[in-house]
């Protein structure tokens, strides 16, 4: 087994035998795959190419996934250091899971644990540390949506309430219109540039990076109302540079800069509150839920909705379908009528 000893900002390792076959190389590898400072997971310069590439090659994933897993492992080693854990065991993985659950949503906990489990699966296969994460259960993911959707009447009320005589109003109207009709994630709205609006066959589309993709090859189609709203906003903004962000801040200190998750959430929340749609379950993400739900309610198939939302797994999309089926289920009323007439 390997003792992990924190020294300053560096975690060092020493190998010794406690029933597991050990190799000197194992201690060296564990030493390289530790947090060398508070910002990055790294390997010592002279061993970086060989050892770290063995870990990333084992992952066999996209650069983005490798980066995500590497950061997750970094957080795990920081946790061990802060807790003074020198010989991590299975119970430490379980405790780490509970620690993550305090401040992270289940899907994030699952992602962090997936990296840790993959890491120790690799260490065991390499023969220098047992797979202490084997059979550790992840966080339970609730299949019920935590956000509500808006009805068509509510959407019209919200959009109609926006003052389109100002630059901010034109931006908010265009941005929220795109969000509620396309179901785009907030991050896709943030990263959208003007030049990302281009033809896709006979349609005008907004191209973005789909999940797991490096290029902006996935797209959503823009209907005439959204195109008109965007055109009105960009005309008022007076921009002609296609490389500029599609939607920008109008705040004095960062005017013209790309919007952030926080700023988009604020726009969405304020717009909801202004039409008395006040609920913790109504957020910027509700616009995505609304797009999916209204598509299904108006004849869209589950498969079409999956493609619209860029869901890798159709089971994620089926959650919307199941929620609608329950909403349409009037069993209670039929039973009450049978009993009380």
Please, is 312 exposed, middle or buried when counting C-beta atoms within 10 Å of its C-beta (0-12, 13-18, 19+)? exposed
Q: How many CB atoms lie within 10 A of CB 135?
A: 8
pTM flag (> 0.85)? no
Backbone φ, ψ for residue 113 (5° rounding): -70, -35
Residue 200 β-bridge partners = 203
- What domains lie within the chain, and their CATH numbers? 2-126 (no CATH), 152-328 (1.10.443.10)
Each residue's pLDDT tens digit in the chain (341 positions)? 333 333 223 333 333 333 333 434 444 444 444 433 333 333 333 334 465 667 777 877 777 788 888 888 888 888 888 888 878 899 999 999 888 888 777 778 888 888 899 888 888 888 878 999 988 887 665 545 556 899 999 999 999 999 999 999 999 999 999 999 999 999 999 999 999 999 999 999 999 998 767 789 999 999 999 999 999 999 999 988 999 999 999 988 889 999 999 999 999 999 999 999 999 899 999 999 999 999 999 999 999 999 999 998 888 888 888 778 877 888 888 888 888 87
Report how far residue 73's alpha carbon sits from residue 4's, in angstroms, rounded to the nearest whole number: 14
- Which residues are within 8 A (CB) of 67 and not within 5 positions of it... i.e. 6 or more apart? none
Nearest Cα neighbor of 168 from 85, 50, 264, 292 is: 264
- Give me the residue label for tokens 């405790």: 95
């Amino acid at each position: 087994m390997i003792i992990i000893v924190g020294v300053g900002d560096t975690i060092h390792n020493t190998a010794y035998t406690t029933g597991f076959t050990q190799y000197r190389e194992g201690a060296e590898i564990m030493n390289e795959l530790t947090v060398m400072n508070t910002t990055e997971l790294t390997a010592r310069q002279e061993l970086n190419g060989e050892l770290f590439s063995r870990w990333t090659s084992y992952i066999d994933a996209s650069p983005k996934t490798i980066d995500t897993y590497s950061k997750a492992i970094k957080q795990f080693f920081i946790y061990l250091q802060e807790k003074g854990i020198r010989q991590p065991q299975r119970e430490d993985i379980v405790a780490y899971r509970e620690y993550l659950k305090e401040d992270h949503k289940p899907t994030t906990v699952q992602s962090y644990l997936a990296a840790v489990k993959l890491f120790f699966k690799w260490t065991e296969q390499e023969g220098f540390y047992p797979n202490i994460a084997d059979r550790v259960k992840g966080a339970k993911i609730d299949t019920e949506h935590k956000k509500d959707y808006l009805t068509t009447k509510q959407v019209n009320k919200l959009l109609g309430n926006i003052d389109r005589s100002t630059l901010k109003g034109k931006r908010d109207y265009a941005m929220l219109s795109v969000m509620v009709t396309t179901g785009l994630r907030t991050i896709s709205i943030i990263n959208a540039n003007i030049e990302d609006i281009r033809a896709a066959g006979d349609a005008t589309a907004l191209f973005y990076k789909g999940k797991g993709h490096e290029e902006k090859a996935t797209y959503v189609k823009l209907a005439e109302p959204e195109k008109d709203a965007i055109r009105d906003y960009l005309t008022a903004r007076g921009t002609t540079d296609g490389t500029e962000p599609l939607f920008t801040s109008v705040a004095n200190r960062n005017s013209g800069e790309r919007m952030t998750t926080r700023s988009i959430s604020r726009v969405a929340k304020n717009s909801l509150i202004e039409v008395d749609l006040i609920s913790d379950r109504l957020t910027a993400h509700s616009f995505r839920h609304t797009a999916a739900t209204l598509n299904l309610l108006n004849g869209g198939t589950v498969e079409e909705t999956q493609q619209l939302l860029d869901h890798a797994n159709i089971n994620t999309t089926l959650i919307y379908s199941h929620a609608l089926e329950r909403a349409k289920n009037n069993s209670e009323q039929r039973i009450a009528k049978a009993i009380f007439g």
